Structure 1
Amino acid sequence: MTDVLTPVLSRNWADDRAWTLAAYEAQGGYDGLRRAVTMEPGEIIELVKDSGLRGRGGAGFPTGMKWSFIPADNPNPRYLVVNADESEPGTCKDIPLMMASPHTLVEGVIIASRAIGAETAFIYVRGEVLHVVRRLQAAVREAYEAGYLGADVAGSGTRLDVVVHAGAGAYICGEETALLDSLEGRRGQPRLRPPFPAVAGLYASPTVINNVESIASVPAILAHGVDWFGSMGTEKSKGFTLYSLSGHVKRPGQYEAPLGITLREILELGGGMRDGSELKFWTPGGSSTPILTAEHLDVPLDYEGVGAAGSMLGTKALQVFDQTTSVVRCVLRWTEFYKHESCGKCTPCREGTWWLVQTLRRLDSGQGQAGDIELLLDLCDNILGRSFCALGDGATSPITSAIQYFRSEFDAGMHTPSAELFPPAASTLFGQEVPA
Structure 2
Amino acid sequence: MSEYKVEQIEVHVCMGTAGVASGGDAVMAALTGEFEKRGLTNTGVKERNCKTKQTGCRGLCARDVLIDVYIPGQGPITYEHVTAEMVPTIVEEHIVGGEIVAKWAAKKDYFEFYDKQKRYVLNDCGKVDPDSLEDYIAHGGYDALKKSLKMTSEEVIDEVKKSGLRGRGGGGFPTGLKWTFCRNSPGDLKYLICNADEGDPGAFMDRSIIEGNPHAVIEGMLIAAYAIGCKEGYIYCRAEYPLAIKRVKKALVDAEKAGYLGDNVLGSGFEFHLKLKEGAGAFVCGEETALIASIEGERGMPRSRPPFPAVKGLWQKPSNVNNVETFANLPVIILNGAEWYANIGTEKSKGTKIFALSGKVKSTGLIEVPMGISVRELIFEVGGGIPKKRKFKAVQLGGPSGGCLTEAHLDTRIDYDSLIAAGAMMGSGGVVVLDETNCMVNVAQFFLTFTQRESCGKCIPCRVGTKTMLDILDRITSGKGREGDIERLESLATDIKISSLCGLGQTAPNPILTTIRYFRDEYEAHIFKQKCPARECPELIEFVVVDERCKKCGICKKVCPVDAITWEKGQFAFIDKSKCVKCRECIVNCPFNSID
Using structure 2 for the length normalisation, give the TM-score.
0.70
Distance 1:329 1:335 in 2: 10
The residue aligned with 1:7 is 119
Q: Which amino acid aligns with 2:392?
A: L
Are the equivalent residues in 2 in contact too, given 1:276–1:434 (CA < 8 A)? no
Describe the shift of the 1:106–1:328 C-alpha distance in structure 2 as closer, same or farther (beyond 3 A).
same
The yes-or-no answer on 1:308 pairing with 2:421 is: yes
> Deviation per CA, 1:56-104, whole angstroms, max 9, x where unpaired?
1111110000000025462241000111100122322100111111111
The residue aligned with 1:269 is 382
Measure how far apart 1:19 and its partner are.
Answer: 4.3
Distance 1:101 1:45 in 2: 24
The yes-or-no answer on 1:425 pairing with 2:584 is: yes
Are the equivalent residues in 1 in contact too, given 2:187–2:318 (CA < 8 A)? no
The yes-or-no answer on 1:363 pairing with 2:476 is: yes
Using structure 1 for the length normalisation, give the TM-score.
0.95
Measure how far apart 1:16 and its partner are.
Answer: 5.5
Matches within 5 A, 1:76-155: 76-155=188-267
Between 218-227 and 7-16, the greater mean CA deviation after superposition:
7-16
Match of 1:375 among 483, 488, 491: 488
Describe the shift of the 1:326–1:4 C-alpha distance in structure 2 as closer, same or farther (beyond 3 A).
same
The yes-or-no answer on 1:435 pairing with 2:593 is: yes
Measure how far apart 1:304 and its partner are.
Answer: 2.1
Between 9-18 and 175-184, the greater mean CA deviation after superposition:
9-18
The residue aligned with 2:12 is none
Distance 2:213 2:368 in 1: 14
Describe the shift of the 1:156–1:428 C-alpha distance in structure 2 as closer, same or farther (beyond 3 A).
farther
Which structure has more relative contact order (CA 8 Å, sep 6+)? It is 1
The yes-or-no answer on 1:406 pairing with 2:519 is: yes
Q: What RMSD over aligned residues (CA atoms) do the two structures have, in Å?
A: 1.8
Are the equivalent residues in 2 in contact too, given 1:152–1:159 (CA < 8 A)? yes
Are the equivalent residues in 2 in contact too, given 1:339–1:353 (CA < 8 A)? yes
> Deviation per CA, 1:309-331, whole angstroms, max 9, x where unpaired?
23212222111000000111111
Match of 1:348 among 461, 467, 490: 461
| 2:482 counterpart SS class | coil
Q: Which amino acid aligns with 1:57?
A: G
Measure how far apart 1:246 and its partner are.
Answer: 0.5
Matched residues, number: 433
Describe the shift of the 1:266–1:180 C-alpha distance in structure 2 as closer, same or farther (beyond 3 A).
same
| 2:192 counterpart SS class | strand
Distance 1:237 1:221 in 2: 15
Q: Which amino acid aligns with 1:291?
A: C
Are the equivalent residues in 1 in contact too, given 2:183–2:229 (CA < 8 A)? no
> Deviation per CA, 1:268-299, whole angstroms, max 9, x where unpaired?
12221112221111122222112111111111
Match of 2:349 among 231, 237, 257: 237
Between 15-24 and 48-57, the greater mean CA deviation after superposition:
15-24
Describe the shift of the 1:9–1:19 C-alpha distance in structure 2 as closer, same or farther (beyond 3 A).
farther
State, as a whole percentage, how many aligned pairs show the same letter: 42
Match of 2:281 among 146, 152, 169: 169
Distance 2:508 2:128 in 1: 41
Is there any run of 5+ residues in structure 2 with no aligned partner, and where? 1-114, 543-581
Runs of 4+ in structure 1 deviating by more than 6 angstroms, as ranges, are none
Distance 1:427 1:185 in 2: 49
Are the equivalent residues in 2 in contact too, given 1:289–1:311 (CA < 8 A)? yes
Describe the shift of the 1:257–1:93 C-alpha distance in structure 2 as closer, same or farther (beyond 3 A).
same
The residue aligned with 2:368 is 256
Are the equivalent residues in 2 in contact too, given 1:239–1:259 (CA < 8 A)? yes
Measure how far apart 1:410 and its partner are.
Answer: 1.1
Are the equivalent residues in 1 in contact too, given 2:400–2:451 (CA < 8 A)? no
Distance 1:326 1:421 in 2: 12
The residue aligned with 1:58 is 170
Measure how far apart 1:407 and its partner are.
Answer: 1.1
Are the equivalent residues in 1 in contact too, given 2:117–2:382 (CA < 8 A)? no
The residue aligned with 1:226 is 338
The yes-or-no answer on 1:386 pairing with 2:499 is: yes
| 2:221 counterpart SS class | helix
Between 103-112 and 146-155, the greater mean CA deviation after superposition:
146-155
Distance 1:140 1:428 in 2: 50
Describe the shift of the 1:54–1:421 C-alpha distance in structure 2 as closer, same or farther (beyond 3 A).
farther
Measure how far apart 1:378 and its partner are.
Answer: 1.7
Match of 2:153 among 8, 21, 41: 41
Q: Which amino acid aligns with 1:425?
A: R
Is there any run of 5+ residues in structure 1 with no aligned partner, and where? none
Distance 1:137 1:223 in 2: 26
Are the equivalent residues in 1 in contact too, given 2:403–2:423 (CA < 8 A)? yes
The residue aligned with 2:45 is none
